[in-house]
Amino acid sequence: MSKLVVIGDGMVGRRFLEAVAQRDPSWDVTVLCEEPRPAYDRVRLSAFFDGVSAEELSLASDLDGVEVRLGEAATEVDRESKVVRSAAGEYPYDKLVFATGSYAFVPPVEGADLPGVFVYRTIEDLEGIKAHAEGRRHGTVIGGGLLGLEAANALKLLGLDVQIVEFAPWLMARQLDEAGGGVLKQHIERLGIGVDCGTGGTRISSFAGRLRMDTNREGVAYDTDLIVFAAGVRPRDQLARDCGIEVGERGGIVTDASCATSDPDVYAIGEVAAMEGVCYGLVAPGYAMAETVADRLAGGEATFPGADMSTKLKLLGVDVAQFGAFDGPLATTYLDPANGTYAKLVLSDDAQTLLGGMLVGDAEPYPLLRASVGGKVPGTLADLLGGGEVQGSLPDGAQVCSCNAVTKGEIMGAIREGCHDVADLKSCTKAGTSCGSCVPMLKQLLAEGGVEVSKAVCEHFAQSRAELFDIVKVTGITTFSELIARHGAGSGCDLCKPAVASILASLSNGHILDGEQAALQDTNDHFLANMQRNGTYSVVPRIPGGEITPDKLIVIGEVAKEFDLYTKITGGQRIDMFGARVEDLPKIWRKLVDAGFESGHAYGKALRTVKSCVGTDWCRYGVQDSVKMAIDLELRYRGLRSPHKLKSAVSGCARECAEARSKDFGVIATEHGWNLYVGGNGGFTPRHADLLLSDVDTETLVRTIDRFLMFYISTADRLQRTSKWVEALDGGLGYLRGVIVDDRLGICADLDAMMAKHVEHYADEWKGVIDDPEKLQRFVSFVNAPETPDPTIEFEEVRGQKFPAGSTERSRPVLLGTPAIRSSQGK
């Protein structure tokens, strides 16, 4: 029996073993694995900090004729004797495969070996990081690429304040251009994570149980508790070097198209292989190499088919994708800084062929775009990002899963043969089993194949959001733990927890910070305020209809002056105050509440504003009292929690100064009453609302809006805007009119009762905090030092107001992390 030795048992090595077992199980295989555990999913490594165990990440499987020797590193390859040696013995081979992968690159920084300094590569690394982080406050990540952002997310999940330091001029410089990197930076800073690009560490020292990292920028240093190097990887080719196998100038074992090295009996696959001088750091090319060598060992003539370097990840909650060519003859771009979205399509010089592109903030069209590379552009950016009409469908030869080289034709064949859900497709085709970015496309193809696709909220709840809403409503369940125990599985995730929190709030189940509910909330809801880029918060009191008395204006001015807040009048007729420290929020709210203000819910998925023009009181064109109507509607629906934020407006005449037709529900006055429009929105893909009712009286108008909102809240998907919800209704606007106007389903009385309950039980969330000593305890910068303000928050003065330090062109910050040297501009 021929002997095969494999050095390394990572993801690529494991794929190779499975491929050999499938093609030619006659080989006697020995695997030398340096790590103490068998292969695991390194692509999902960060899930370890989200509660996924090492066992759940494992890719181990029993294969006949394969002996895996864990914790046994290969120490020498004797090519003359065709033997691999380890500390435990010798292993002869007929064929040898290097699958040694890569190691974490650590720049030449003095002190990089100090306690508290880690790399981000293995489960053992993660266990060390987790243990060291316990009881500490600050972490610094060196590297702003894919790995660095994953490491930053891991530290954030451990409860640390995080600073990213990146040598390149922008984040993810290998996948994104400067504009895309800039939008990604905005997203990450909004999470309270510092980002310092164009900076490198030069020296790490320890003091008083902490670490200090000096940088290549004069006067800039970082004090921290923990440092993680995630600055890239290098191929583990030392064994090959030692035995005389050819390696590339920049590292990696040189191979030909069959993955054979300079020794015809030795192959190299994965990150250690330099295919035509290129070492690929993604799993997809490694899998292709594994299949190639397995075919060769079985007597085939396969060659490496090339590498698809497309990438889609959700980094710190932000969708990022890059596919095909990075640049080309033509490019079309869309940048929306307000909504944190950037898109770029790279086109041929005749603009007819898609060559590649990138997406930041909204990566929903990624599967379609990636599969269309080299073919016709499937639509405009507005179509693709707005869910509009796209051109045709994918050809059968289009690659859907680049990790495992699975085409649409193979998937559709599996569907015809009986695969009826995503799990079946994963099992049959391996599509979606690696990075998971093609799973949305698998769902689309199931639908195209006539299979009804699950609308489950997530893996923990098989029900849709609407079904969960009905369950909570009917059973009277008031906590997430009871709901998941009775109707779900596991412990929940960042998809289902906020969704259930919203449902509980929509059904008036107490203050959102009461008991268990507090732990379910997103960051902004957690503190009833919007977190800003420098870790401070904005305070937005409700000003119904934009109408405010001079006395209340004075109070806002006094509060802003006392707490030194930046003030701005918003587009929704409210006054926004920025720069509030977390410990000051209850004090600010107390002064505002005492003056008659309440929360404007700028932080929540709830009603934001009902904008108005001045109506008949002042305008010579007004035909109805739009101000009173706007105030009445805003006070009626204030605090109403929903799947997405809600905006409204009331215009006093057809001149439409309040822009009511761009809102979720908008009202326009007529000589005979009111017109009601629904399903509009601004943002990345603006949509005019549709006319639902004409010339109705006030009672009919309000009753219909009540039903519209409650029907939406009861049936919409998680984070689905009213515009998308109306479009998705089977029968569209006509169906909606039949349900909430004509009561064809017989549910209007129930919808009316739900709204009446909301109105009856409404209570201001700010007041609920300041009147509750227990809730007040969470509003501190540091739990163990509640009176201490966060020293990392710094400001500068511009145009007579304060701004976050470094946020304007006039500012060059001295420090962006935990200060080792205090900025002279700080207050």
pLDDT digits 0-9 by tens, 553-574? 999 999 988 998 878 776 677 8
For residue 245, what pLDDT band results from cuts at 50, 70 and 90?
Answer: very high
Read off the pLDDT band of 827 (50, 70, 90): very low
Pairing of strands 665-670, 673-678: antiparallel
pLDDT digits (tens, 9 = 90+) for 364-417: 778 778 878 888 887 766 666 654 444 456 667 777 776 777 888 899 999 988
- Is residue 595 over pLDDT 60? yes
Mean pLDDT of 201-218: 91
CB 37 within 8 A of CB 63: no
Helix (H, G, I), strand (E, B) or coil at 356: strand
**What's the pLDDT at 453?**
66
Going by pLDDT thresholds of 50, 70 and 90, the confidence category of residue 301 is very high
Instruction: Give the mean model confidence (pLDDT) for residues 277-300.
Output: 90
507: Cβ–Cβ under 8 A, 6 or more apart, which residues? 469, 472, 473, 754, 757
Mean pLDDT score of the chain, rounded to an integer?
Answer: 85
Share of the chain above pLDDT 70, in %: 91
Could you read off the pLDDT of 475-519 as tens digits, one per residue?
Answer: 889 888 889 999 988 878 777 888 898 898 888 767 878 877 777
State yes or no: pLDDT of 809 exceeds 60: no
60-83 pLDDT per residue, tens: 888 888 999 999 999 999 999 999
Residue 569: per-residue pLDDT:
74
789-812 CB burial, b ≥16 within 10 A, e <16: ebebbbbbeeeeebbbbbbeeebe
* Lowest mean pLDDT, pick from 42-56, 196-210, 581-595, 693-707: 42-56
3-state secondary structure (DSSP) of residue 289: helix
Q: Which letter, b or e, does each residue of 1-34 get, where b requires 16 or more Cβ atoms within 10 Å of its Cβ?
A: eeebbbbbbbbbbbbbbbbbbebbeebebbbbbb
No. of helices (H) and no. of strands (E), the chain: 27, 38
Higher-confidence residue of 193 and 516: namely 193
CB neighbours of 749 closer than 8 A, spacing ≥ 6?
none
Indicate whether 316 pLDDT > 60: yes
Mean pLDDT of the 684-706 span = 90
* pLDDT score at 383: 63
pLDDT at 93 over 90: yes
Partners of 804 in the β-ladder: 795
pLDDT score recorded for residue 393: 63
The tokens describing 572, both together, are 């929704």
Mean pLDDT of all residues in 706-717: 95
Report all structural domains of the chain as residue ranges with CATH numbers, in order of start: 3-103+235-297 (3.50.50.60), 117-231 (3.50.50.60), 310-392 (3.30.390.30), 394-451 (1.10.10.1100), 465-521 (no CATH), 529-600 (3.90.480.10), 607-771 (3.30.413.10)
Across the range 460-473, mean pLDDT stands at: 88
pLDDT category, 713, cuts 50, 70, 90? very high
Residue that wins the pLDDT comparison between 441 and 385: 441
d(CA 242, CA 100): 14
CB atoms within 10 A of CB 226: 24
Q: Give this prediction's pTM.
A: 0.57
- The alpha-carbon radius of gyration of the chain (Å, integer) is 29
For residues 729 and 736, the answer to whether their CB atoms sit within 8 Å is yes
When pLDDT is cut at 50, 70 and 90, the band that residue 811 belongs to is very low
Is pLDDT at 114 greater than 90 in this prediction?
yes
- Higher per-residue pLDDT: 604 or 378: 604
Cα atoms found within 13 Å of the Cα of residue 24, Cβ hemisphere only: 17
- Tokens encoding 706: 């009540």
- Alpha-carbon distance of 177 to 171, in angstroms, equals 9
pLDDT tens sequence across 144-168:
988 899 899 889 888 889 999 999 9
Q: What average pLDDT does the segment 718-736 reach?
A: 87
CB 513, CB 773: distance < 8 Å: no
Of the listed ranges 91-100, 350-359, 419-428, 731-740, the one predicted with least confidence: 419-428
pLDDT at 254 over 90: yes
Q: How confident is the model at residue 727 (pLDDT cuts 50, 70, 90)?
A: confident
Q: What is the pLDDT of residue 825?
A: 33
Would you state the pLDDT for residue 97? 97
**C-alpha span between 502 and 500 (Å, rounded):** 5
Determine the pLDDT at residue 823: 32
Is residue 192 predicted with pLDDT exceeding 60? Answer: yes
Q: Is the dihedral of CA 351, 352, 358, 360 positive or negative?
A: positive
Report how far residue 581's alpha carbon sits from residue 635's, in angstroms, rounded to the nearest whole number.
28
| Contacts of 39 by beta carbon, 8 Å cutoff, 6+ apart | 9, 10, 11, 13, 14, 33, 58, 59, 60
pLDDT tens for 608-631 read 999 998 888 778 788 899 999 999
Q: What is the average pLDDT across 2-29? A: 93
